[in-house]
Amino acid sequence: MFIDARKLPAGTLLDCDICILGAGAAGITLARELAGSPYKVCLLESGGFDIDQATQDLYKGEIAGRYYPPLDTARLRFFGGSTNHWDGNCTPLDALDFENRDWVDYSGWPISRSDVDPFYARAQPYCQLGPYRYDPAYWAPLAGGPALPLPPEKATTNIAQLSPPTRFGEVYRDDIGRAANVTAVLHANVLEIVPRSDDASRIGHVRVAVLKGAAFTVTGRHFVLAMGGIENPRQLLLSNTSAPAGLGNQNDLVGRFFMEHPVVDGATFQPSRKDLNLKLYGETVFGERALTAFLQVSDAALRRHKLTNMRAPLDPTTRYRASVGVEAFDELADELRGGPAPMSNWLDVKEVIEDFDMVLEAGARKLLHRHLFASAEDDVCFTMDTMVEQTPNPASRVTLAEERDVFGQRRVRLDWQIEQKTEDNLWRCFEIIGAALGQAGVGRLRSWREHAVRLWGKERLNYGFHHMGTTRMHQNASRGVVDADCRVHGLKNLYVAGSSVFPTGGHVPPTLTIVALAIRLADHLKRIAGERS
């Protein structure tokens, strides 16, 4: 059942067994898993069924330190959350990502890949994906081409399944609406999670405000915070009536370790043969689904060289971008400007002449903002827009800003920081993949390390819009905000769902893991709610 909070009378008190705060991928999965259970579930969502500017405005925040896109564009605040604009790229985390890697500070999940495997399998249909198979050999016949024969001690191929992408708010709206035990309250903005006055280790209720309506209260036995990787810590920090530093923040960990997946256009791959079969690395469509493959440094090489993870997809690029004539022209121009010029002029001139159509093309694009030659768009090589694992860094963090939103709540402030070792790891990974490609005799890799400053800078760096790490999972309360069950340390009935619980993020877009962990949490809640009733 759906309720519009704007129509609730002042002073309304809703009561439930399990109260879910936020209806994105995590919250909707939880509610759907709990549908049909004997427990009364309340799903509180800030937005309605569509985007609304005033609600979206609540997501505005301050960017401190490294550039990041405005926070009200990096996520969406209505039913379905950021899955209303996600891309649907899904892969499970690697087994190594869960491990305590002695070369990666703060690494190590308290659970392993095999603990999560059964939940990944159940998460696949949620994201409208195919079978829980990520081995390239399984998909190669469908794609019409094998994985590259890379030496396994250096590099491997991995699969990404591509969700349609599932708009959780649309696809599961009817299921939620039909579930007799689930009440989804729209336009309900949670302001504070409040512990019981007689027992500070238990949450008693949440205070909820409505943009054009009256405030109300929801009481419950269990609460799950599922507002996304930036809002989850904000909400804990704002909930400071009984704990001045914020809930779960007794060790000053809430909001720290913010991680993204920087996407760096850091290398190109030049196949050695035009007819090299790279179909697996293109997009293979099957029904409404699709998949693609990417290269990564193998588990063995990551361990041996003590590196963090990354993924390098192969995106065909055009003759124009790959033009040697344009390069030669560029170098001639450098020489004329008196810049460093190790090359002989005649060779550059010859190449400019030989590739003159592409040089003209470059001129036309620059001067006229238009293309001259259709052939400029012919594919000749592959760029590698590489998704990079960030090393966990306590200084990279979400805090509260001084500015306030319309409810008088302090806005969020993001200070995203990337450690130099994250960058260094990437360049080393390219060297390893380059050697693997060469060893396999399939081509060569060119790393753009010499352009590192620009590639990691504001103009060129891209983002996954994956917000991770801010309520990290650790069995030890002094090192994590939640335990292995995603329960906030020190609180008996408050849980966190979403990528904020990830201690490390691998190279993997987070949503499949978010959904898997939400299913796991739903099972846990069913168990413990059952025990108590």
Partner 1 sequence: MKIARRSLLKAGSGLVAFAALGRTATAEPASDDGAARLVALLGNRHAAIRLGRRHLSRHPEERDAAQLAARLTTRLAPAGGPIRRAALRRSLAADFAAGRVTALDGWILANTEVDLCALAALKAPGTGATLSPPPRHDG
Q: How far is the CB of 119 from partner 1 (least distance, A)?
A: 34
Tokens standing for residue 169? 């708010």
Among residues 69, 130, 53, 48, the alpha carbon closest in space to that of 467 is found at: 69
Supply the angle between the helices 324-336 and 356-368 in degrees, to the nearest 10: 70
Q: How far is the CB of 328 from ligand FAD (least distance, A)?
A: 38
Omega within 30 of 0 (cis) for the link into 165: yes
Site string for partner 1, 400-439 (x = CB under 8 A): ------------------------------xx--xxxxxx
Near partner 1 by CB under 8 A, which window of 79-87, 262-270, 506-514, 520-528?
262-270
Binding partner selected for residue 227 from ligand FAD, partner 1, none, CB under the kind-specific 5 to 8 Å limit: ligand FAD
Check residue 476 for interaction with partner 1 (CB under 8 A): no
Among residues 396, 397, 390, 407, the alpha carbon closest in space to that of 59 is found at: 407
Tokens standing for residue 347? 């060779």
Q: How far is the CB of 385 from partner 1 (least distance, A)?
A: 10
The bridge status of strand 216-225 relative to strand 262-271 is: unpaired
Residues 74-113 that bind ligand FAD (CB under 6 A): 74-75, 77-78, 81-83, 85-90
Rounded to an integer, what distance in angstroms lies between the CA atom of residue 195 and that of residue 247?
9
When binding is defined by CB under 8 A, the residue of 371, 444, 492, 527 that contacts partner 1 is 444
Do 155 and 295 form a contact (C-beta atoms < 8 A)? yes
Neighbour tally for 458: CB within 10 Å: 9
Measured from the CB atom, the residue of 291 and 455 that comes closer to partner 1 is 455
Among residues 25, 30, 23, the alpha carbon closest in space to that of 5 is found at: 23
Check residue 22 for interaction with ligand FAD (CB under 6 A): yes
Neighbour tally for 15: CB within 10 Å: 13
When binding is defined by CB under 6 A, the residue of 17, 33, 45, 483 that contacts ligand FAD is 45
The bridge status of strand 397-404 relative to strand 379-388 is: unpaired
Check residue 505 for interaction with ligand FAD (CB under 6 A): no
When binding is defined by CB under 8 A, the residue of 196, 207, 321, 410 that contacts partner 1 is 321
When binding is defined by CB under 6 A, the residue of 61, 110, 136, 510 that contacts ligand FAD is 510
Measured from the CB atom, the residue of 50 and 87 that comes closer to ligand FAD is 87
Provide φ and ψ at 53, rounded to 5°. Answer: -60, -40
Do 75 and 228 form a contact (C-beta atoms < 8 A)? yes
Near partner 1 by CB under 8 A, which window of 156-164, 192-200, 444-452, 482-490?
444-452
Amino acid at 323: S
Q: How deeply is 533 buried, as exposed, middle or buried, from its count of CB atoms within 10 A (0-12, 13-18, 19+)?
A: exposed
Check residue 324 for interaction with partner 1 (CB under 8 A): yes
Check residue 259 for interaction with partner 1 (CB under 8 A): no
Check residue 185 for interaction with ligand FAD (CB under 6 A): no
Check residue 277 for interaction with partner 1 (CB under 8 A): no
Measured from the CB atom, the residue of 443 and 510 that comes closer to ligand FAD is 510
Do 438 and 361 form a contact (C-beta atoms < 8 A)? no
Q: How far is the CB of 374 from ligand FAD (least distance, A)?
A: 31
Residue for token pair 């796991």: 520
Check residue 265 for interaction with partner 1 (CB under 8 A): yes
Measured from the CB atom, the residue of 126 and 430 that comes closer to partner 1 is 430
Measured from the CB atom, the residue of 34 and 437 that comes closer to partner 1 is 437
410 bridge partner residues: 404
Check residue 223 for interaction with ligand FAD (CB under 6 A): no
When binding is defined by CB under 8 A, the residue of 58, 148, 208, 381 that contacts partner 1 is 381
Amino acid at 232: N
Element (H, E) at 160: strand 155-162
220 bridge partner residues: 16
Do 478 and 262 form a contact (C-beta atoms < 8 A)? no
Q: What angle do CA 479, 95, 497 make, to 5 degrees?
A: 50
Measured from the CB atom, the residue of 294 and 320 that comes closer to partner 1 is 320
Count interface residues toward partner 1 (CB under 8 A).
55
Distances (CA, A) of 258 to 101, 119, 253, 315, 416: 19, 25, 10, 29, 7
What is the greatest pairwise CA distance in the chain? 86
Check residue 298 for interaction with partner 1 (CB under 8 A): no
Residues 232-251 that bind partner 1 (CB under 8 A): none
Binding partner selected for residue 81 from ligand FAD, partner 1, none, CB under the kind-specific 5 to 8 Å limit: ligand FAD
When binding is defined by CB under 6 A, the residue of 96, 116, 514, 517 that contacts ligand FAD is 514
Binding partner selected for residue 450 from ligand FAD, partner 1, none, CB under the kind-specific 5 to 8 Å limit: partner 1
Among residues 322, 333, 320, 328, the alpha carbon closest in space to that of 362 is found at: 320
Check residue 64 for interaction with partner 1 (CB under 8 A): no
Q: How far is the CB of 509 from ligand FAD (least distance, A)?
A: 3
Alpha helix stretches (DSSP H) within 127-219? 136-143, 168-171, 173-178
Q: How far is the CB of 206 from partner 1 (least distance, A)?
A: 38
Among residues 18, 7, 383, 15, the alpha carbon closest in space to that of 210 is found at: 7
Residues that bind ligand FAD (CB under 6 A): 21-27, 44-47, 74-75, 77-78, 81-83, 85-90, 188-190, 226-228, 231, 465-466, 498-499, 509-511, 514
Residues that bind partner 1 (CB under 8 A): 151, 265, 267-268, 270-273, 317, 319-324, 326-327, 329-330, 342-344, 346-347, 350-351, 355, 362, 366, 380-381, 383, 430-431, 434-441, 443-451, 454, 459-460, 462
